[in-house]
Every structure is written in structure tokens, then in C-alpha cells.
């Protein structure tokens, strides 16, 4: 592996430690090298706290080594004052003359200005090392700024014979029918802790009474997004308990309640697009669409999805609600005891 790629790979590895905690900021990792030895490294923990470059510089025990060092960073150093001072200014101030960057920041507040500032100050700057991998690292952040919508995961569990739920008349209680094993369900909660929001429709809520929270993993609960056209969901259901920020999309307006906001949309138009527009305005960068089948298919048909996460079990229903149909390519497969998690990405035309 080339030397620049070696240290950029480490930046990416470090950056992933912030998944689920840095929103609305991107994931960023940084490594500082002197004489081919790592003398400092860091990553961005949380919005409002120091950025990756600041943490990496602070970790260097002998600041005198910085003038002969190279700093690697997975995303272009910021050039503006936000909640923290510009990282580009700190790099210049510390006398670091060699800077290697993974990808350019798509945020209009940065967008090349950090690179320009470094070059104007006399720094040797290399851009585009492991760029594809660095872009993938921040797929949520890039999609939000470039496509003006959240990065969208479709997620469902299906039986060996292709059903995501049993027939309604076969259900006796208002609780989930588990298709997958307990380890898959724990992983599903981990996924929730990494994303900003999660969406289900009226039928799923009425049949399962889900809480849509992170119960089997440590982390923040995602914003709950509920589609309830005619406000059928009873107030005593879990999604309306006010314990988590919740947005309810309906046909009619409704007074806001504690931690619950009702948003009116036009159900005769593309509801997936309308929801994406609202979430973008609220700076929500990622969304898990969990169902049911009709809602999942609505996002698929609108072309508003990026990845499909499908948990496949070895049980069969023989009849029930058929899994959504989509066109994508398999990028990974993971065995979870007797389940399989397949990850697909949408074809780009």
C-alpha cells in the first residue's frame, strides 16, 4: 500500500468512531506523521466539540515536531467559524506545511475554501487520496448537501419464502411478529443508533405498536417519522408517548404536543419526496425506512433510496405480505447465526 493511502486508511478507521454522534457534522479522522511515524491522531466526537485535526494536534506530545510533520485528514479542513474555529487556521498557525486530504467538503461554507487557504499560506496540499472511500465514509453528509435530502436506508426482515409479515387475520395481538433471531434484532437497534431518523406507516404502528427506540444498544434514539394520513393511531400507542422527538405526517393539521409535531402534506402527490424535503429543511441527514411494504415500495418507486438492508431468516410463512421489489446490486452479506443480512445499493444510471 502506498504511504499516503496507508495513513488515510487510518484516518477513515478513526473517523468511524464518531458514527451516530457527530450529526449534523461529518465523520472525520486525522493522523499526524513525522519521519514515517504516527505522532498524533484524533477524530471528531460530537458537534460543538473540537474537530479531528484539533484533537490530532492536541495529542502530539512534542509540538516542536509539527513543523516537520505531515497531517492527514479524511475531509477538507474547515475554513469558517462555526461552533469551533477554522481547522485550516490552526494547521497554518502550528506550522504544518504538508497536508494530505481525502475528499473536498461539499458544504457550501467550505467547498474548497479550506484547501485554498492552506495553499495561499504556503502549505503543500495533496487532495483525493482514497477519495472514493472517504466519500463513502460521509455518504450521509454528501447526499444531504449535494442531493438536498437525507441518505435513505430501506430495512426489512423477510422469511425464506419472501414474506415480511403474516396475514393480518392470523395476528392475535398488537405486537411484532419476529422473523429474525435476537442477534439480528440487536444489530437493528445498533443501526438505529447510527442514523438520525426512522420511518414507518400507519399499518405497521397499528399492527406492531413499535417504540422505534434504541433499547438493545447504547446510543441516541432516532427521530421517529410516522405517516398517519387520517390520524388513526391511538394516543396511548408507543410512538405517541412523547419520549422521543416525533414527526407525524398527516392529511390534516393538528396541534403540536410535547415532543410531537404534526405536519400536513398532500397525499395526492409524491409523499416520499415531500417527506424528504421536510427532513432536509430540518437538517436530518439520514433516514431508515422500516415499513410496511406499501411505504417501502413508495420510496423505491420514487427512486428515493440509497441502500437496502434485508435480514433474511430460515423460517417460512407460506402466505402473508410479500417483500418489496427493487433493483439494486449486492455489496455485502453477513451471517448472523441462522440469519443473513444482505446490503444492496441502488443502481446509478
Residues noted as catalytic: 53
Burial category of 176 from C-beta neighbours within 10 Å (exposed 0-12, middle 13-18, buried 19 and up): middle
- The C-alpha cell of 146 is what? 449535494
Strand arrangement of the beta sheet that strand 260-264 belongs to: 260-264, 246-250, 223-227, 197-201, 286-291, 151-158, 307-312, 339-346, 328-336
Please check whether residue 102 is in contact with residue 130, taking contact to mean a CB–CB distance below 8 angstroms.
Answer: yes
Torsion sign (Cα): 202, 207, 211, 214: negative
Length of the chain: 349
Please check whether residue 96 is in contact with residue 67, taking contact to mean a CB–CB distance below 8 angstroms.
Answer: yes
CA-based nearest residue to 205, from 171, 240, 178, 181: 240
| DSSP state for residue 257 in the 8-state scheme | B
| DSSP state for residue 341 in the 8-state scheme | E
Q: What is the CB-side half-sphere exposure of residue 239 using CA atoms within 13 A?
A: 31
What angle, 0 to 180 degrees and rounded to 10, lies between the N-to-C axes of helices 293-301 and 271-281?
A: 80
CA-based nearest residue to 197, from 112, 275, 267, 295: 275
> SS3 sequence, 171-216?
CCCCCCCCCCCHHHHHHHHHHHHHCCEEEEEHHHHHHHCCCCCCCC
Amino acid at each position: 500500500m502506498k504511504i499516503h493511502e496507508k495513513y488515510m486508511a487510518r484516518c477513515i478507521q478513526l473517523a468511524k468512531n464518531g458514527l451516530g454522534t457527530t450529526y449534523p457534522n461529518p465523520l472525520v479522522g486525522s493522523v499526524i506523521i513525522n519521519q514515517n511515524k504516527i505522532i498524533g491522531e484524533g477524530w471528531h466526537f460530537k458537534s460543538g466539540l473540537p474537530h479531528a485535526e484539533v484533537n490530532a494536534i492536541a495529542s502530539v506530545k512534542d509540538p516542536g515536531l509539527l513543523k516537520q510533520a505531515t497531517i492527514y485528514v479524511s475531509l477538507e479542513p474547515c475554513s469558517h467559524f462555526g461552533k469551533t474555529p477554522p481547522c485550516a487556521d490552526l494547521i497554518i498557525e502550528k506550522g504544518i506545511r504538508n497536508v494530505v486530504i481525502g475528499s473536498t467538503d461539499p458544504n457550501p461554507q467550505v467547498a474548497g475554501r479550506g484547501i485554498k487557504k492552506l495553499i495561499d499560506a504556503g502549505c503543500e496540499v495533496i487532495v483525493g487520496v482514497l477519495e472514493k472511500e472517504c466519500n463513502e465514509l460521509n455518504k450521509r453528509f454528501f447526499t444531504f448537501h449535494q442531493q438536498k435530502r437525507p441518505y435513505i436506508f430501506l430495512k426489512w426482515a423477510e422469511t425464506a419464502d419472501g414474506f415480511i409479515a403474516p396475514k393480518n387475520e392470523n395476528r392475535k395481538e398488537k405486537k411484532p411478529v419476529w422473523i429474525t433471531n435476537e442477534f439480528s434484532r440487536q444489530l437493528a437497534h445498533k443501526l438505529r443508533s447510527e442514523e438520525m431518523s426512522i420511518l414507518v406507516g400507519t399499518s405497521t404502528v397499528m399492527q406492531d405498536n413499535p417504540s422505534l427506540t434504541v433499547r438493545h444498544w447504547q446510543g441516541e434514539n432516532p427521530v421517529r417519522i410516522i405517516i398517519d394520513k387520517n390520524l388513526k393511531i391511538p394516543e396511548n400507542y408507543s410512538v405517541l408517548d412523547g419520549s422521543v422527538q416525533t414527526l407525524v405526517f398527516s392529511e390534516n393539521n393538528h396541534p403540536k404536543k410535547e415532543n410531537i409535531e404534526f405536519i400536513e402534506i398532500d397525499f395526492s402527490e409524491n409523499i416520499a419526496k415531500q417527506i424528504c424535503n421536510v427532513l432536509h429543511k430540518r437538517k436530518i441527514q439520514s433516514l431508515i425506512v422500516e415499513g410496511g411494504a406499501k411505504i417501502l415500495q413508495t420510496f423505491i418507486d420514487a427512486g428515493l433510496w440509497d441502500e437496502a438492508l434485508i435480514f433474511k431468516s430460515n423460517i417460512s410463512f407460506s402466505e402473508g405480505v410479500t417483500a418489496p421489489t427493487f433493483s439494486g446490486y449486492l455489496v455485502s452479506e453477513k451471517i448472523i447465526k441462522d440469519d443473513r443480512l444482505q446490503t444492496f445499493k441502488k443502481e446509478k444510471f
